[in-house]
Amino acid sequence: MQMLSRTAASLFWTGRYIERADFMCRLLDATARLASLPSTYGGDPTAWTGALSAAGVADAFAATGLEPSEAAVTHFLAVSADNPSSVRHCLERARGNARAVRTALTLEAWEALNGAWHEVDRFAGPRFTQGRMGELVETVRRAVLAFDGAAHRTMLRGGAYWFLQLGAAVERADNTARLLDVKYHLLLPRDEAVGGSLDHFQWVTVLRTVSANTAYRWLYRDTVKPWLVADLLIFDSRMPRSLICCYAEIVERLDQLTHGSGKRGPANRTAVTILRQLQDTDIDKVFAAGVHEFIGRFLADNARLGAAVAEQFLF
């Protein structure tokens, strides 16, 4: 499917930034819950530091010189101009990219994004207060659903749509992996003595961040077990945010994008390799080799794929 390279790049990044804005909102929401519990019930005073790591912006936050208080971290993740991954910044970039290639989107998809930006711009500026965080999370999550729905219902199944979805899938894999990495010390191997009810809320928080609470219960019909959470988020192809599901989608989108020309390139090959690696391993092997190491390798692979996409499609 032939299209302007700049357009393709902008759509890819529109997809990524929308996905990231959504993830940041989920993270804010879940962390606020966790931090609000008394510590005897699993409440975690370090929850906000953990959120910074999961967002991949711990260094950027440290550079501000602020204490990682709830107020400071919330502000940083929600609206800060110093944070390239803040919800506000992600939406602004998503909209900026989309506006530059406005014609590649349908009116409905563009309006969903543009409307969300104007809405958020009204209250999530420099004077944003923590009291409005719920509103921000709600607005963005609704907007992302509206955008996805508009794209799904109105966009031609062609290059523009596939690049959007490709960007979203690459970002989604990245987000899930980062979340796992931060919580890896909780994701213990089967039968290992666990911290009892204390950790329960932390696992539930992880599931909540990826909208998987109900899915977990449905699939496992069991109380929350750490190894099952890890299995679900890495290997279950029915779970839309699992790494394997993201990679199945990435491979499919790249196939669609190159089907017409028959010119498969480094992005196709890298994606297939990563998917095979995921298919050829299981949760026991991951625990044997170390969750942190496994995730670290995956994140590096995913970054390589991003570079291969840019190379193949001449971004």
Q: Does 156 bind other proteins (CB under 8 A)?
A: no
Pairwise CA distance, residues 76 & 59, whole Å: 12
Which CB, 287 or 315, lies closer to other proteins? 315
Rounded Cα–Cα distance for residues 79 and 248 (Å): 33
Q: Is 154 in the site for other proteins (CB under 8 A)?
A: no
* Cα–Cα distance measured from residue 247 to residue 254, given in angstroms and rounded to the nearest whole number: 10
Interface with other proteins includes 102 (CB under 8 A)?
yes
Our finding on whether 1 is near other proteins (CB under 8 A) is yes
Q: Rule CB under 8 A: is residue 153 a binding residue for other proteins?
A: no
Amino acid at 249: E
Judged by CB under 8 A, does residue 238 bind other proteins?
no
Residues 15-44 that bind other proteins (CB under 8 A): none
What is the secondary structure of 43-91 as a DSSP string?
Answer: --TTHHHHHHHHTT-HHHHHHHT----HHHHHHHHHT-TT-TTSHHHHH
Applying CB under 8 A, among 118, 142, 157, 259 the residue interacting with other proteins is: 118
Q: How far is the CB of 149 from other proteins (least distance, A)?
A: 16
Does position 237 bind other proteins by CB under 8 A? no
Burial class (CB in 10 A: 0-12, 13-18, 19+), 191: exposed
Per CB under 8 A, does 5 bind other proteins? yes
Near other proteins by CB under 8 A: residue from 261, 292, 303, 311: 261
**Interface with other proteins includes 266 (CB under 8 A)?**
no
Using the rule CB under 8 A, is 4 a contact of other proteins? yes
What's the rounded Cα separation, in Å, for the pair 10 and 315?
Answer: 9
Tell me if 110 sits within 8 A of 102, measured CB to CB. Answer: yes
Residue pair 203/215 in contact by the 8 Å Cβ criterion: no
**Chain residues that interact with other proteins, rule: CB under 8 A:** 1-8, 96, 99-103, 107, 110-111, 114-115, 118, 159, 257, 260-261, 263, 313-314
